[in-house]
Homo-oligomer: A and B are copies of this chain.
Amino acid sequence: MTTINDNYLKLKAGYLFPEIARRVNTFAEANPDAQIIKLGIGDVTEPLPEACRTAMIKAVEEMGDRSTFKGYGPEQGYSWLREKIAQHDFQARGGDIDAEEIFISDGSKCDTGNILDIFGKDNTIAVTDPVYPVYVDTNVMAGNTGPVNERGEYEGLLYLPITAENNFTAEIPSDRVDLIYLCFPNNPTGATATKEHLKKWVDYARANGSIILFDAAYEAFITDPSLPHSIYEIEGARECAIEFRSFSKNAGFTGTRCAFTVVPKTLMAKTSSGSDVELWKLWNRRQSTKFNGVSYIIQRGAEAVYSPAGQSQIQQLVDFYLENAQIIREKLTAAGLTVYGGVNAPYVWVKTPSGLSSWDFFDKLLQTCNVVGTPGSGFGAAGEGYFRISAFNSRQNVEAAMERITDKFKAL
């Protein structure tokens, strides 16, 4: 008989977002008149920038003419897009990244999962706790972990707690690990990393032959000029880091789908016999064999992000969501809650009041204010007692939600 990948059976059944949906649906059925406001999932709500739309319409029209029609493109993405990314997102900020080191994809979720294809099965892996669940689940599916315990932790993963006590920046592990997932600005806590903090990670990785998998999907929300947008702003990162970037949150591409991954040609890892291999070659082979590139139309839309009009329009989008975050921070603080993040990040990380568990606070907020957020414990055991509020919503919804919390907070 054909067998399945048994590792899938290790995955926790009660995944975070389906469980949220279940509780919201139950509440909505029992309270059909409730106007529920969802500040849970980090999905954008505002229109796609005009520059991107104009470019995509032009690209669709080109597809209608034999002389400008595009069939298969390069699996790695078109060079006109890769070059603009290398210049604007890296070289302009002092990051020494070449266009050939950029691989265009249809999403960071895909890339952060697929990257495991090119690594061995014997690597030790560290994640922060709380953490974006995809890093963990894809390792489980790839067979890089043992079973889950009652705290929701998988055997074989090293969990690095990030809490208010350590300012939401994980301590460098005392033991060696091979692969380290870092996400700054952080999902879910909204924390950021200074250059000094990242330098410690880079130094650690280089000293230990480790690889940092750096998720910078939220870099556009950094307003503090001292904070790095890319790990390649740190000396030595070309020797130890892969970076994931996305157009989802800066340009509102969550439904349009374009992202990219940076694999420097100087990044090496070992064969089982101890020889060095360029990870760029492996990722290039992986993408060439298992991927056929992003739609020409969508790549033209992404390219428009780098036009002067596009740059101005995405800045307006980012500013808009950051203003939402500021409103959330101010209103929750005024209501007596302790909040973190939301300054250089679109997520506000709330300490639950009165020692409530994350899920108890979720239920109270839903029942009392009809507002949905995300329980911190859903992102990991150390997220217990925290709660994520997303700034990705309309101003009207954000203000209405905060008004309800302000009015009814005493009941919480």
Residues A123 and B297 in contact, CB atoms below 8 Å apart: no
Establish whether residues B257 and A292, one from each chain, have CB atoms under 8 Å apart when the complex forms.
yes
**With the chains together, A257 CA to B77 CA distance in Å?**
13
Given A71-B43, A255-B72, also A292-B65 (CB < 8 A): no
With A110-B292, A289-B137, A295-B295 already in contact, the answer to whether A4 and B50 are too (CB < 8 A) is no
- Given A57-B60, A113-B290, verify A45-B73 contact (CB < 8 Å): no
By a CB distance below 8 angstroms, the chain B residues around A137 are: 289
Q: Is A285 an interface residue (CB 8 A)?
A: yes
Cα distance, A2 to B1, chains bound together (Å): 35
B53–A277 contact, CB under 8 A? no
Which of A26-34, A160-168, A268-276, A361-369 lies at the interface? A268-276
Interface 9-mer from A6-14, A194-202, A323-331 = A6-14
Smallest CB–CB gap between A412 and chain B, Å?
A: 29
For residue A296, CB closer than 8 A to chain B, the reply is yes
Partner among B2, B48, B296 whose Cβ is within 8 Å of the Cβ of A209:
B2
Q: Are A209 and B1 neighbours in the complex by a CB distance under 8 Å?
A: yes
Asked whether A289 lies within 8 Å of B134 as measured between CB atoms, the reply is yes
B178 close to A272 (CB less than 8 A): no
Q: Does A175 contact B (CB under 8 A)?
A: no
Contacts of A113 in B (CB 8 A): 289-290
A292 to B259, CA, bound (A): 11
Within A119-174, the residues touching B (CB, 8 Å) are 119-123, 134, 137-138, 141
Shortest CB-to-CB span from A255 to chain B, Å, is 4
Residue among A47, A71, A279 with the highest chain B CB neighbour number at 10 A:
A71
Q: Mark A105-123, 1 if CB is under 8 A from B, else 0.
A: 0110110011001111111
CB proximity of A279 to chain B, nearest CB, Å: 7
Chain B nearest Cβ from A2, distance in angstroms: 4
Instruction: Identify A53's interface contact among B4, B60, B120, B256, CB under 8 A.
Output: B60
Q: A193: CB under 8 A from chain B?
A: no
> Are A2 and B123 also in contact (CB < 8 A) when A57-B60, A113-B290 are?
yes
Given contacts A5-B282, A292-B106, contact A53 B63 (CB under 8 A): yes
- The size class of the interface chain A forms with chain B is 35 or more
Q: Which chain B positions have C-beta within 8 A of A50?
A: 64
Return the chain B residue nearest A176 by Cβ: B1
How far in angstroms is the closest Cβ of chain B from A292? 4
Residues of B contacting A57 in the complex (Cβ-Cβ under 8 angstroms): 57, 60-61
Contact digits for A276-299, partner B, Cβ 8 Å, 1 yes 0 no = 010100100110011111111110
- Closest residue on chain B to residue A70 by CB atoms: B255
- Is A36 part of the contact surface with B, judged by Cβ < 8 Å? no
Decide if A394 is an interface residue (CB 8 Å cutoff): yes
Flag whether A234 is at the interface (Cβ < 8 A): no
The reply to whether the CB of A3 lies closer than 8 angstroms to some CB of chain B is yes
Q: Find chain B residues with CB under 8 A from A272 CB.
A: 3, 6
Answer whether residue A66 sits at the interface, using C-beta atoms and an 8 A cutoff.
Answer: yes
| A71 and B1 contact, CB distance less than 8 A | no
Contacts A6-B120, A141-B117, A394-B66; A297 near B298 (Cβ below 8 A)? yes
Contact check, A270 vs B118: say whether CB atoms are below 8 A apart: no
A114 x B53 contact (CB < 8 A): no
> What are 11 A-B residue pairs whose CB atoms fall within 8 Å in the complex?
A3-B119, A4-B277, A5-B119, A6-B272, A46-B69, A48-B69, A53-B60, A106-B295, A138-B290, A141-B285, A297-B297
A4-B277, A138-B290 known; 13 new pairs, CB 8 Å cut-off, are A1-B270, A3-B269, A3-B271, A5-B117, A48-B63, A53-B64, A66-B394, A69-B255, A71-B254, A106-B294, A109-B291, A117-B141, A295-B298
